[in-house]
Structure 1
Amino acid sequence: MRNFMFVTMLLLVCGCSVGPDYVRPDVKAPDQWNVEYKAAADLANTQWWKLFGDKVLDDLIETAVRGNLDLKSATAKVDQYLGVLDTTRSQYFPQISAGFNPGATHTGSSTTQSYQATVNATWELDLWGKIRRSSEAAQAQIVGSEAGRRAVIMTVVSNVASGYITLRGMDRQLEIARDTEKAYAESLKLFQLRFKYGTISQLELSQAESNYEAARQAIPSYESLVRQQENLISLLLGRAPGPIPRGKTIDELIPPGIPAGLPSLLLERRPDIIQAEQNLIAANAEIGVAKAAYFPKISLTGALGVSSGDISRLFVPGAGIWSAGAQLAQPLFNFGQTAGQVKQAEAQQQQALYQYQQTILTAFREVEDALIKTTKGREQLEAQRRQVASLSDYDRLARLQFEAGTSSYLQVLDADRSLFTGKLDKTKTHYDLLVSLISVYKAMGGGWVNEADKLQEPQKK
């Protein structure tokens, strides 16, 4: 018995892990971004959405972080992989079971009764690191799923903020359409009176009617867009479609600064990159799991119990029994099954590697795109503000000339349409700029995801 235990301990000490150890791939990150911008250093680790200064937006984001169903699903996935790790680690220890086996043997004219009650143990020795590699993969899956959950938080917060700002921008466009329709309706009434008394032609009246109808048809279009945007935000909140409360107007919202961050920091700040690397670590460990099948499987077995031909004497002194043994199973011929499993694991590791590299490149592109949209969007907005101011002067002067009889109504019509379109375009550029700022925060990642995660915790009263 002593020799048996000595050999067992020797095998455990000499055990090794087959398969490659993980080494992080070299990643060449740019030294700096290609877009020049003025950065605010500490904003990446703050609740940046509060910088807009809208309490309604703050409440919507808190509601979404607590109620979004995609986020709840991602949280459940973390629990799933915690269970996988518990299952895997349990293989480090003996599997213990209990049994009771009554039986009877009939020989000729006699029948012999037998009763056994035993506690059985089976322990597979992890000589080749199969369980260690499985645990390594399970741990990586836990870290990866947690990073995936944080990536969902990042997406939910960004989408709620973008959705709300887009909603307030569409509200402003609807307001412009309604104000324009109201002004055109007043002009049409005046033109109808003038036509009645013969001071304008049928052509000029038709032009006024056309102008009015053009503004009128824009209203249901924007009403539809507003309703759809409300439904989108409701979905992010984990609710059925319904109205969304409003806070500040699009013009009252305060744009936050652009967060600082070098390209190399993305590897640690972006949850999706962390998740992709953990997937690579797990896939790398699975190669070791597959290769362990090439080597012998050694299991120790043991049993301790009682046995008797009379159930009433099952637990009396002298009824005890025990057994101990070992089993070695070495695969000989499985016609390429193990080799195929290793090949599959290695191919999956390569897929995970390429996906990791692609995720990093995508992150770099998303930051560059968001920065260029923000910097150029500011330039575009300033140009459109100047254009709307010029169009307002053009519209005012065209009306004065028409009233003085020095120009036709066609010039007024052109000025009205240009001003209407200019106001709508300026509003669109304005909320697109704010959305692009949000995209910068989302693309750069950072400690703000931790701040958003804290919103799930119940508030202390």
Structure 2
Amino acid sequence: MIHKRYIWLLALLTLAAACRITQPYRSPEINTNGLYRDQPNGDTNTIAARPWQSFFTDTALQRLIARGIRENLDLRIAMQRIIAAQAALKQSRLAFLPDVNANASVKESRLAFPQGYGLITTATQYDVNVAASWEADIWGKLRSGKRAAQAALLGTVAAQQAIQSSLIADIAASYYTLLALDQQLQVLRQTLANRGEDVSSMKELKASGIVNGAAVVQSEANQYAAAVAIPDVKRQIRETENALSILLALPPGPIARGNMPAQQVPQNLSTGVPAQLLQYRPDVKAAEYAFRNAFENTNIARTAFYPSLNITAASGFTSFDFSQWFTDAGLFGNIVGGLTQPIFNRGLNKARLTAAQAKQQEALYNFNKTMLTAGKEVSDALYSLTSASEKKESREKQLASLEKAVDFTKELLKYSSSTNYTDVLTSEQHLLSAQIGSINDQLQQWQAVIALYRALGGNYDEHD
């Protein structure tokens, strides 16, 4: 009875020691106050919770995003990493079960009998057995290994989600860049046509003696200036289409799309609170899972200082006579339990623990950096959106004034000797620059919207 009490007391002490060796995981603490610069309010509504289909309503863009999610090669690569991580997790779970191996063999030996007399004889041994070994998880090494594998799997899933979130944003950004380039090309072609009319008008005015030959030549040069800009825009369109094709896992080719004037910028672009980045932004979640993986690996390194309990057992038949192989005479069995305590490799275990702790601290710093980067990206996107909105009213007034200036100078050129074609040329150049600027303003606004959606985490639901 006394021996049983000692056994129970030893088991309780071992369990208590094991609880102190491996530490329970706690999420890293981080202060998110002020993470968004000039945050408007503390409303918890966030566009990150909106499905991408309701955020990007252009049907052509929706088709492109759907194909990208289905076919993008980076996403397929990430999926294979998830499969590998799932296999590693399964392997960590199987570590709790005993290893079982079966063996069958026939061994023939040449023996000197009796020893030293040189009489050679032969013997044939027949063996068949099943052996099992099992390590008791006294110190929590296997449990920590399982949790580390779970964190690695979740981190791999979060990394795949981050790729998908970025993919949606990249496809949308390329799409709206194409629409802006299309709009620029349309403006340039219209400008080229208008300047062609200017050349005809200048030739008529020269014939009437109102302007000289210099005005005609200047008008022609002005026409060529518009013409020479068109090939560059066409090149940019083709390069953007080719880049978008890669995201869609397609060979380079044309992209079906809408037009910029038909696009409506989403309203109610709420950011929520910075703490929600932990919920919605996948790279932040991946960074925390990496920290948890490193934390559990540190737990594993701690257990290496303590003895391991291994139990092995074997059973089978062995015989030197095949006819007695599966008989009571050939039956054998054994079971062995043993403790293995590291003695001379403590320096190696200390080095492993130090390395594991350093990697854990590195993962913590990386998590903090990822959060700060996320806050910076949200702040930048918000300010870019504000800047684009502020320019809109001034740009509209500038365009209206420049259109009037072009009309007025052209009229004055016909009736006033104090006006020359240089005035017309200057006003037309300013108008074209403002028209291109207006298109770029719209693109900047869309880029800011997309950047904000990406920075907040976006919606990467694979079932969408």
Q: 1:82 aligns with which of 66, 79, 86?
A: 86
What SS does the aligned partner of 2:261 have? coil
Q: 2:28 aligns with which of 12, 16, 25?
A: 25
Q: 2:398 aligns with which of 387, 391, 395?
A: 387
Letter in 2 for 1:266: L
Aligned residue in 1 for 2:448: 436
Contact 1:306 1:321 in 2 (8 A): yes
What SS does the aligned partner of 1:34 have? coil
Query: Displacement of 1:46 after TM fit?
Result: 2.4
Contact 1:188 1:209 in 2 (8 A): yes
Query: Displacement of 1:279 after TM fit?
Result: 0.5
Q: 2:321 aligns with which of 310, 315, 323?
A: 310
Alignment of 1:2-401 (within 5 A): 14-15=14-15, 16=18, 18-30=21-33, 34-36=38-40, 41=45, 43-105=47-109, 106-107=111-112, 108-192=119-203, 194-195=205-206, 199-247=210-258, 249-257=259-267, 258-334=269-345, 336-401=347-412
What SS does the aligned partner of 1:22 have? coil
Query: Displacement of 1:319 after TM fit?
Result: 2.3
Letter in 2 for 1:285: E
What SS does the aligned partner of 1:315 have? coil
Distance in 2, Cα, partners of 1:33 & 1:73? 36
What SS does the aligned partner of 1:454 have? coil
Cα deviation code 1:357-387 (max 9, x no counterpart):
0111111111111111112211112211221
Cα deviation code 1:117-136 (max 9, x no counterpart):
00111112222222111111
Query: Displacement of 1:155 after TM fit?
Result: 0.5
Aligned residue in 2 for 1:459: none
Q: Which moved more, 1:352-361 or 1:327-336?
A: 327-336
Query: Displacement of 1:185 after TM fit?
Result: 2.1
Q: Could you tell me which runs of 5 or more consecutive residues in structure 1 were left unpaired when the two chains were aligned.
A: 456-461
Sequence identity (%): 29
What SS does the aligned partner of 1:259 have? coil
Task: Name the TM-score, length of structure 1 as normaliser.
Answer: 0.91
Q: Could you tell me which runs of 5 or more consecutive residues in structure 2 were left unpaired when the two chains were aligned.
A: 113-118
What SS does the aligned partner of 1:71 have? helix
Contact 2:294 2:360 in 1 (8 A): yes
Distance in 1, Cα, partners of 2:341 & 2:43? 63
What SS does the aligned partner of 2:260 have? coil
Contact 1:116 1:308 in 2 (8 A): yes
Contact 1:12 1:125 in 2 (8 A): no
Q: 1:335 to 1:9 in 2, by over 3 A?
A: closer
Q: Which moved more, 1:98-107 or 1:411-420?
A: 98-107
Contact 2:145 2:296 in 1 (8 A): yes
1:405 aligns with 2:392: no
Alpha-carbon RMSD across the aligned residues, in angstroms, is 2.6
Q: 1:255 to 1:405 in 2, by over 3 A?
A: same
Q: Which moved more, 1:22-31 or 1:370-379?
A: 22-31
Q: 1:388 to 1:93 in 2, by over 3 A?
A: same
Q: 1:396 to 1:273 in 2, by over 3 A?
A: same
Q: 1:40 to 1:271 in 2, by over 3 A?
A: closer
Distance in 1, Cα, partners of 2:208 & 2:322? 120
Q: 1:312 to 1:190 in 2, by over 3 A?
A: farther
Cα deviation code 1:403-451 (max 9, x no counterpart):
22341111100010000010001001101101211211111226x322x
Cα deviation code 1:54-79 (max 9, x no counterpart):
21011111111101111111122111
Contact 1:166 1:432 in 2 (8 A): no
What SS does the aligned partner of 2:25 have? coil
Q: 1:387 to 1:333 in 2, by over 3 A?
A: same
Q: Which moved more, 1:183-192 or 1:287-296?
A: 183-192
1:416 aligns with 2:428: yes
What SS does the aligned partner of 1:63 have? helix
Distance in 1, Cα, partners of 2:52 & 2:409? 45
Cα deviation code 1:214-249 (max 9, x no counterpart):
1111101111111111112111112222110012x1
Distance in 2, Cα, partners of 1:183 & 1:21? 74
Q: 1:354 to 1:401 in 2, by over 3 A?
A: same
Letter in 2 for 1:321: F
What SS does the aligned partner of 1:124 have? strand
Cα deviation code 1:234-286 (max 9, x no counterpart):
11112222110012x11110110213411222222211111111100100111
Q: Which moved more, 1:93-102 or 1:105-114?
A: 105-114
Query: Displacement of 1:142 after TM fit?
Result: 1.0
Q: 2:463 aligns with which of 448, 454, 457?
A: 454
Letter in 1 for 2:395: Q
Q: Which moved more, 1:178-187 or 1:359-368?
A: 178-187
What SS does the aligned partner of 2:262 have? coil
What SS does the aligned partner of 1:24 have? coil
Contact 2:42 2:273 in 1 (8 A): no
Letter in 1 for 2:167: V
Query: Displacement of 1:41 after TM fit?
Result: 4.0
Q: 1:78 to 1:246 in 2, by over 3 A?
A: same
Distance in 1, Cα, partners of 2:149 & 2:253? 41
Q: 1:40 to 1:230 in 2, by over 3 A?
A: farther
Letter in 2 for 1:262: V
Query: Displacement of 1:391 after TM fit?
Result: 0.8
Q: 1:51 to 1:301 in 2, by over 3 A?
A: closer
Letter in 1 for 2:190: D
Q: 1:40 to 1:299 in 2, by over 3 A?
A: closer
Number of residue pairs matched? 448
Letter in 2 for 1:443: A
Distance in 2, Cα, partners of 1:137 & 1:37? 38
Aligned residue in 1 for 2:116: none
Contact 1:147 1:272 in 2 (8 A): yes
What SS does the aligned partner of 2:460 have? helix
Distance in 1, Cα, partners of 2:63 & 2:156? 27
Q: 1:279 to 1:221 in 2, by over 3 A?
A: same
What SS does the aligned partner of 1:84 have? helix
